Amino acid sequence: MGNVLTIILQRLALGALTLLIVSIVIFVAVNLLPGDFAQNILGQGATPEAVASIRKDLGLDQPPVTRYFDWLGGVLRGDLGSSFAQANFASFTGTDSGAKTVADQIAPRFANTMFLAMVTAIIAVPLSITLGVLAALYRNSVFDRAANITTLSSISSPEFFLAYILILFLAVLNPILPSLSNIYDGMAFSERLQKSLLPALTLTLVVTAHMMRMTRAAIINLLASPYIEMARLKGLSPMRVIVKHALPNALAPIINVIALNLAYLITGVVVVEVVFVYPGIGQLFVDSVKIRDIPVVQACCLIFAAAYILLNLTADIMSILSNPRLRHPK
Amino acid sequence: MTDETPLVKIRGIKLEGRSDETWNPIINGVDLTLARGEVLGLIGESGAGKSTLGLAAMGYTRDGVRISDGTVEFDGIDLLTASAATKRDLLGKRIAYVAQSAAASFNPAHKLMDQHVEGPVQHGVNDRGSSEEDGIELYRKLRLPNPDEIGFRYPHQVSGGQLQRAMTAMAMSCRPDLIIFDEPTTALDVTTQIEVLASIRDIVEQYNTAAIYITHDLAVVAQMADRIKVLLKGDEVETADTRTMLSAPTQEYTKSLWAVRSFERPKKPGVSTGAVPVVSVQNVDAAYGKVPVLFDVSFDMHSGRTVAVVGESGSGKSTTARCITGLLPPTAGQIMLDGEVLPADYRKRSKDQLRQVQMIYQMADTALNPRMSIGQIIARPVQFYLGLTGAAKRKRVDALLEQIELEPSEYYNRLPSELSGGQKQRIGIARALAAEPKFIICDEVTSALDQLVAEGILRLLARLQDDLSLSYMFITHDLATVRAIADEVVVMKDGRVIEQGDKEEMFRPPHHAYTDLLLSSVPEMDPDWLTNLLTERGVDNIGDAAVDKM
């Protein structure tokens, strides 16, 4: 086991290093955006003095390196900074709107995104693995082809199109599910779940094909192995051969594809959020980019990067653990 | 014959294999009858259709193979018309299979015992608890070390010979009426093989299990089988009792198979004193990373002579070759060529030094670039080392092809994939010869080939040595090959040379204990060989058990 622990620690260290590099990239990229918050908020008629004053208030007059380390220091202390849009410009407007930190702003949105991702994953992962196993078991049959065509067409259609189709069938023609997913704090779990179901189904349609096809391919890849022939010659049922003998050895690639799709669910669902008016982190991110609310943009980017790195790390570790050679060295 | 129905009755079976879009015959109408408790040896060269026929006896065909005609009956049940469920009920329970590579045929994801009990539990023969107890009992009978505990390991934690026995135990788990053994010892060292053979034979006798034992090794089949059936390219050549078959084969082909082991080169005069060896390995130590693998290895190789380097897998034979070629610079000691020290790293050697040392590889399949024609493969060293181009190069390649007995006009433009295994190995030889070397390392060059083909390669190498005064370092684990072509023998074990000398000397007692064990472990054609050896030495003094005691 010491062997595995070393590998895991190495991967964790590597993940932290990647995150650090990503933070630099995010900072540089965000600063390359044309215009800044001060110009944006004051419009074209702004006097240079007013712009400079706001910049000074927000610390935008500091050199980029200083700003980066200020930000990084804050992040390491768990302080993501204050949102520009919610900041109290006392020196400029003379009013007090009540300061709001980035963390306060992101937390509920992120929780919503995670909720949606989780609901989707709970539907999509077992569904795709089951479909993949069945497709491998009945390969080249009508079922296999139908599953492939359906999932491929759904992955090939734009997300908003799938969303509107689902709305048409499940909300308009047969009003089973609500078409608006305007969830809010303090909503009962069952209601929250019901309102999230349509976006979750849309996302399921988007991610299933990838995972299902990898499951099918990874299993079929192993069917020519001598140990699969052995299992067949022991007179085991085709289902048992696939589930008990092929699947455990096909886990590594499947786990990796699942991780990739889960990361997508956390970071890439803006379109679906917009269609269903779901208050997730994607919308917040897009809005913040529009008004150059840099602390929020940076924090979102960092969360997305961390989600990718963490999920891939988990996938790596699970792949290692699924290999008995690494779990039980000689 | 007895009046009871035979256990297996195959009549006029025809099997075809698909390549591209056409079906080609593999087995052209063979009959096979097996009585209860009888062991039938199925022998032939690779491509003879042995495994395909063995699997067909289970009513099973691999992907891309089909049964086009004939009948297969097991205990009166027609396996070809039986439903999938009926067949599944027989497989594992009444008919079991032992594959060639146990390491590949055990599922890496599950412990041995989990795989062992799967058959009896799934077939409802036994519950898990009693199956486990029975498994331990079988492990004990098959003389596996730590029988109580070994089943709870994963396949990768168990050695190849032990896995092969665990697989035999697994086949026995439902006490089948028939076991198909598909080359179960081919991938094993001789000392490991002998243990597995003894274990298999014991347990098959004990439970009166009928078996079809597939192998290309005549001496092995002579120990195991009551009856032998010889196959050649999908046709039966002859079938007879083991003793009859060995003493009086009726067919020419069978006789030729039997004769292979009789090839032996005449003894050469000894090396004149003071002669400078072509290659001299002097006190070489080597390591892979930090793991030392060679310890103080020294031996000489002289012009026109063959030194056979013998030992089991992991003994350091190929590592020594890597040191000589400069692929693995030794950590101590040196390699001399014609009395001069060779730079340890091949990158520091001159083109002429590189030219003098050539290699022929075990797997001709993977050692030839599949995208280059035979002409290009041989022309490359001709141009690189000798600087020949154009017509001169072509002429030299043609001459080399003639030397290896392949018609230049016919083979020059072919690709390696269009050649047979033996022909590919000949191309490997021509490529080595193209550099006009003094010294060639032959690394297990015949171990992937059938005996008849291997003999052809050995004869060719012998002739080339006489014509060109070549010096060979012949790496092998097959002592029959050593007997056939070696002048001197070097025995290696665990990275050390433990005995060396003239071939006659080496094959004449007294030997070093390990050499003795190696020699005594090589199966002989005498059907009583294994029985005699076991009586003489006792089961605990053969094979790896004996190696471990050293």
What are phi and psi for residue B226, nearest 5 degrees?
Answer: -85, -35
Query: CB contact, 8 Å: B107 with chain A?
Result: yes
Is position A330 within any domain? no
Are B118 and A325 inside 8 Å of each other by CB?
Answer: no
Confidence of residue B12 (pLDDT cuts 50, 70, 90): very high
B490 closest CA partner among B470, B469, B471, B506: B506
Instruction: Judge if A192 and A270 occupy the same domain.
Output: yes
pLDDT (mean) for B71-93: 92
Instruction: Judge if A113 and A231 occupy the same domain.
Output: yes
Rounded CA separation B450/B463 (Å): 20
The better pLDDT of the pair B266, A242 is held by A242
Average of per-residue pLDDT values in chain B: 89
Is position A164 within any domain? yes
Q: What is the pLDDT of residues B476-512, one digit of tens each?
A: 888 878 888 899 999 998 899 988 988 888 887 777 8
Is position A324 within any domain? no
Rounded CA separation B433/B467 (Å): 12
Confidence of residue B261 (pLDDT cuts 50, 70, 90): low
Are B104 and A225 inside 8 Å of each other by CB?
Answer: yes
Q: What is the pLDDT of residues B425-477, one digit of tens each?
A: 999 999 999 999 999 999 988 887 877 788 889 999 999 999 999 999 999 88
Are B157 and A330 inside 8 Å of each other by CB?
Answer: yes
Question: What's the pLDDT score for residue B262?
Answer: 63
B39 forms bridges with which residues in the sheet? B211
Question: What's the pLDDT score for residue A94?
Answer: 42
Residue recorded with tokens 């943009």: A297
Confidence of residue B9 (pLDDT cuts 50, 70, 90): very high
Average of per-residue pLDDT values in chain A: 87
Question: What's the pLDDT score for residue A88?
Answer: 52
Question: What's the pLDDT score for residue B96?
Answer: 95
- Least Cα separation, residue B487 to chain A (angstroms): 40
Is position A311 within any domain? no
Instruction: Judge if A132 and A65 occupy the same domain.
Output: no
B104 closest CA partner among A230, A330, A218: A230
pLDDT for residue B178 is more than 90: yes
Q: What is the pLDDT of residues A211-270, one digit of tens each?
A: 999 999 999 999 989 999 999 999 999 999 999 999 999 999 999 999 999 999 998 788
Q: Which residue of B has its CA nearest to A326?
A: B156
- Would you tell me which residues 67-106 of chain B have a C-beta closer than 8 angstroms to some C-beta of chain A? 87-93, 96-97, 99, 101, 104-106
Top residue of B105, B121, B167 to mutate, by most chain A CBs within 10 Å, is B105
3-state DSSP assignment of residue A34? coil
pLDDT (mean) for B356-376: 90
- Would you tell me which residues 210-239 of chain A have a C-beta closer than 8 angstroms to some C-beta of chain B? 224-227, 229-237
Instruction: Judge if A30 and A54 occupy the same domain.
Output: yes
Q: Which chain A residues are within 8 Å of B156, Cβ to Cβ?
A: 324-325, 328, 330
Point out the domain boundary residue: A290, A306, A322: A290
Who contacts B188 (Cβ-Cβ below 8 Å, separation ≥6)? B160, B161, B164, B196
Name the least confident of A71-75, A117-121, B132-136.
A71-75
pLDDT for residue A95 is more than 70: no
The better pLDDT of the pair A46, B30 is held by B30
The better pLDDT of the pair A218, A81 is held by A218
Instruction: Judge if A14 and A117 occupy the same domain.
Output: no
Is position A306 within any domain? no
pLDDT for residue B135 is more than 90: yes
Query: CB contact, 8 Å: A31 with chain B?
Result: no
What CATH number should be reported for the domain holding residue A189? 1.10.3720.10
pLDDT (mean) for A96-101: 56
Point out the domain boundary residue: A71, A102, A133: A102
- Owning domain of residue A241: 106-290
Confidence of residue A90 (pLDDT cuts 50, 70, 90): very low
Instruction: Judge if A49 and A125 occupy the same domain.
Output: no
Are B107 and A249 inside 8 Å of each other by CB?
Answer: yes
pLDDT for residue B313 is more than 60: yes
- Least Cα separation, residue B54 to chain A (angstroms): 12
Q: Considering chain B, what percentage of its residues have pLDDT values greater than 70? A: 99
- Least Cα separation, residue A319 to chain B (angstroms): 12
Instruction: Judge if A7 and A29 occupy the same domain.
Output: yes
Q: What is the pLDDT of residues A114-169, one digit of tens each?
A: 999 999 999 999 999 999 999 999 999 999 999 999 999 998 999 999 999 999 99
- Least Cα separation, residue B532 to chain A (angstroms): 34
Is position A297 within any domain? no
Question: What's the pLDDT score for residue B290?
Answer: 82
Instruction: Judge if A26 and A144 occupy the same domain.
Output: no
Query: For chain A, how many structural domains are there in total?
Result: 2
Question: What's the pLDDT score for residue B121?
Answer: 95
Alpha helical stretches, state H, B99-251: 102-105, 112-122, 128-141, 147-150, 160-172, 190-206, 218-224, 242-247
Is position A326 within any domain? no
Question: What's the pLDDT score for residue B131?
Answer: 94
Is position A328 within any domain? no
Instruction: Judge if A75 and A129 occupy the same domain.
Output: no
- Least Cα separation, residue B177 to chain A (angstroms): 14
Point out the domain boundary residue: A77, A102, A127: A102
pLDDT for residue A36 is more than 90: no
pLDDT for residue B4 is more than 80: no
Instruction: Judge if A133 and A247 occupy the same domain.
Output: yes
Q: Side-chain half-sphere of B465: how many Cα atoms within 13 Å?
A: 25
Question: What's the pLDDT score for residue A91?
Answer: 44
Instruction: Judge if A97 and A143 occupy the same domain.
Output: no
pLDDT for residue A1 is more than 70: no
Instruction: Judge if A33 and A54 occupy the same domain.
Output: yes
Contact by Cβ (8 Å): B330, B323: yes
The better pLDDT of the pair A14, B192 is held by A14
